[in-house]
Amino acid sequence: MAQERMDDWMEYARELAHAERELRIERWVFISIECKDEAGNPVRLHSYDLPRELHERYRWVVRWREARLQCLYPKRQINTYYSYYDRRTGLRTDFGSSLSRLSAAKAQISIAERKEREYIQYQRTNNLFFDENTDEQLVRFREKLRMKKGKYTHEEKRLADELVKQCQYDYAVFVCEYKGGKAFLGDRNEFAVVGIPPAILVKDGKATLLSIDDSLYLISHS
| Mean pLDDT to the nearest integer, 206-218 | 87
CA dist list (Å): 128 to 121, 145, 220: 12, 25, 52
Query: 80: burial class by Cβ within 10 Å (0-12, 13-18, 19+)?
Result: middle
Q: What is the pLDDT of residues 131-178, one digit of tens each?
A: 988 999 999 999 999 999 999 998 888 888 888 887 888 888 888 888
| Degrees, nearest 5: CA angle 138-144-145 | 85
Half-sphere exposure of 90 (CA within 13 A, CB side): 4
From 110, 116, 144, select the one nearest 124 (Cα to Cα): 116
Q: Measured in whole angstroms, how far is the alpha carbon of residue 109 from the centre of its chain?
A: 14
Q: Using 50, 70 and 90 to split pLDDT, how confident is the model at 194? A: low
Residue 3: per-residue pLDDT: 61
CA dist list (Å): 8 to 11, 109, 121: 5, 14, 20
Give dist(CA 133, CA 127) in Å, integer.
Answer: 14
Residue 32: per-residue pLDDT: 97
The order of strands in the sheet holding 79-86 is: 42-51, 27-36, 79-86
From 87, 77, 78, select the one nearest 20 (Cα to Cα): 87
Residue 190: per-residue pLDDT: 61
Residue 60: per-residue pLDDT: 96
From 106, 86, 84, select the one nearest 19 (Cα to Cα): 106
Lowest mean pLDDT across 16-20, 46-50, 115-119: 16-20
pTM of this prediction? 0.75
Pure H helices in 44-182: 52-57, 59-72, 98-126, 136-166
| Residues listed for the chain | 222
